[in-house]
Amino acid sequence: MMPRSKMHRGVLLRLYLFIAHLVPMIAPSVLRRRLRKGKEHPKRWPEKQGRALAARPEGTLIWLHAVGLGEVMSLRGLIARLTALQPDVQVLVTSTTAASAEVFVRNLPPRTLHQFLPLDAPLYRKRFLDHFKPNLCIWVEQDIWPGFVHDLHRDGVPQAMVATRMNAESFRLHQKAAKLYRDLYGVMAMITAQDDASATHLRRLGAGPSVSGSLKPAAPALACDGAVLERLRDALQNRWVWAVAPSHPDDEQIAIAAHDIVTQADPTALLIIAPRYPERRDEITAQIGGNAPIRSRDEIPSQDDRVWLCDTFGEMGLIYRLARAILVGGTFGPVAGHNPWEAAALDTAIFHGPQTANFAHDFEVLDSAGGALKVDDAEALATALMHHDQPELAQNARDCIAKASAQTDKLAQDLVALLRPA
């Protein structure tokens, strides 16, 4: 175990730890209200109170925490490297959203267990930490909980923050509690940032990060049902297929308009619309004329269908394998982008709109290497779909993945070293 210094407990940290004692007074009613709204897992929500936990795996346990779906899925490449370097290690992954659990479990790496992170209250933390007794805690991207950081440090458990992402808006919010974050960062055995801008923001908050890049490019390809894939490829084999995913209304409007142009040149072209929120299916069906085949009904497009609505959750691995090109969702509206690397890992040519702030560094890397192409409107998208060298786009993106993977290799080695005596 690494030697540890005493944690500085400034006013804000002491206030946070005091208020956290009040959380169990309101947590049950809040969780049940969220459960009724479908925002919590119907069977596993007690995990957020540190109850009904899965059995602890035997041996050394590395705990990684990430907040939501995209962040959790990005952990798979790092987990593969950690377990390859340390054959006796087991991995615990926590997250907070129901969607993250649903999709991650479908893509679960070997020797890996998923749980929901308990609310940051002393009683819940004690249940969780006494049960799992992690040997190393890794906080990923943005989510970090002061009570857990405090208790882990008290117990002598090494902690690291990796692939931290902090844009200008996030930095502004962190500045409001700068002294609190300075206390938390001060106990980390290692801090890394995704990019230079994030590293600069972290330094201004008192951290000393290195730049290790994003974890997302190093994640393995998303899984899918092989039998379903083969059946759909047979059904669509004479068609040129592309997709907009995970889509939002602004993206869908652009994609549909572009598809109108594309089908004038190639009537066999098929557009897959894969909404980020499947419950929008009725809204999207009305927009495209009300008679499109729908994936959740197990409907397969006929030769006369120009659009296919794939409204099932967690099937991006299937969609990226069927599509030759992808318009990355969120890039034509306020969402400001989704992860482009999942498509790149499956050799799907990547196009995106101008709004990419949520993944700014990722798109900059891809665009500068010729691994993705920015389009500003439906006409530009249609032109790119019909005339741009899409195999070249896909190959350049794969080259970016290879380079990023080397950074994740080094990060995994540094993290495994934290498990060893100093």
Ramachandran area for residue 336 (φ above 0: left; ψ -120 to 50: alpha; else beta): left
Looking at residue 70, its pLDDT comes to 86
Q: Are residues 200 and 134 in the same domain?
A: yes
- What percent of the chain is modeled with pLDDT above 70? 98
The answer to whether residue 172 is domain-embedded is yes
The answer to whether residue 221 is domain-embedded is no
The answer to whether residue 377 is domain-embedded is yes
> Residue 3's pLDDT band (boundaries 50, 70, 90)?
very low
- What percent of the chain is modeled with pLDDT above 90? 89
pLDDT mean over 31-60:
95
The answer to whether residue 363 is domain-embedded is yes
What angle is formed at CA 281 by the lines to CA 279 and CA 284, rounded to 5 degrees?
Answer: 135
Q: Are residues 54 and 198 in the same domain?
A: yes
Per-residue pLDDT at 205 exceeds 50: yes
State the average pLDDT for the chain.
94
Q: Are residues 192 and 269 in the same domain?
A: no
Looking at residue 106, its pLDDT comes to 86
pLDDT mean over 187-207:
96
The answer to whether residue 259 is domain-embedded is yes
The answer to whether residue 358 is domain-embedded is yes
What angle is formed at CA 195 by the lines to CA 63 and CA 199, rounded to 5 degrees?
Answer: 80
Per-residue pLDDT at 6 exceeds 80: no
**Cα–Cα distance measured from residue 5 to residue 187, given in angstroms and rounded to the nearest whole number:** 8
Give the residue from 348, 144, 158, 171 showing the smallest Cα distance to 242.
Answer: 348
CATH number at residue 390: 3.40.50.2000
The count of domains in the chain is: 2
Looking at residue 420, its pLDDT comes to 59
The type of residue at 262 is V
pLDDT mean over 273-285:
94
The type of residue at 213 is G
Residue range 75-98, pLDDT digits in tens = 999 999 999 999 999 999 999 999
Q: Are residues 189 and 241 in the same domain?
A: no
Per-residue pLDDT at 2 exceeds 80: no
CATH number at residue 144: 3.40.50.11720
Q: Are residues 166 and 79 in the same domain?
A: yes
Q: Are residues 205 and 270 in the same domain?
A: no
Burial class (CB in 10 A: 0-12, 13-18, 19+), 42: exposed
Q: Are residues 87 and 236 in the same domain?
A: no
Q: Are residues 204 and 231 in the same domain?
A: no
Q: Are residues 205 and 244 in the same domain?
A: no
Per-residue pLDDT at 5 exceeds 80: no
Looking at residue 4, its pLDDT comes to 54
Residue range 155-190, pLDDT digits in tens = 999 999 999 999 899 999 999 999 999 999 999 999
Q: Cα separations (Å) of 253 from 146, 165, 221, 227, 378? A: 42, 30, 28, 32, 8
Phi then psi for 415, rounded to 5 degrees?
-70, -45
Q: Are residues 319 and 297 in the same domain?
A: yes
Per-residue pLDDT at 279 exceeds 70: yes
The answer to whether residue 3 is domain-embedded is no
The answer to whether residue 220 is domain-embedded is no
Q: Are residues 66 and 174 in the same domain?
A: yes
Looking at residue 422, its pLDDT comes to 37
**Cα–Cα distance measured from residue 169 to residue 136, given in angstroms and rounded to the nearest whole number:** 30
Q: Are residues 166 and 276 in the same domain?
A: no
Q: State the residue range of the domain holding 273.
A: 226-403
**Cα–Cα distance measured from residue 123 to residue 43, given in angstroms and rounded to the nearest whole number:** 21
Cβ distance 190 to 411 under 8 Å? no
pLDDT mean over 354-359:
93
**Cα–Cα distance measured from residue 210 to residue 227, given in angstroms and rounded to the nearest whole number:** 44
> Residue 23's pLDDT band (boundaries 50, 70, 90)?
very high
**Cα–Cα distance measured from residue 72 to residue 378, given in angstroms and rounded to the nearest whole number:** 32
Looking at residue 143, its pLDDT comes to 86
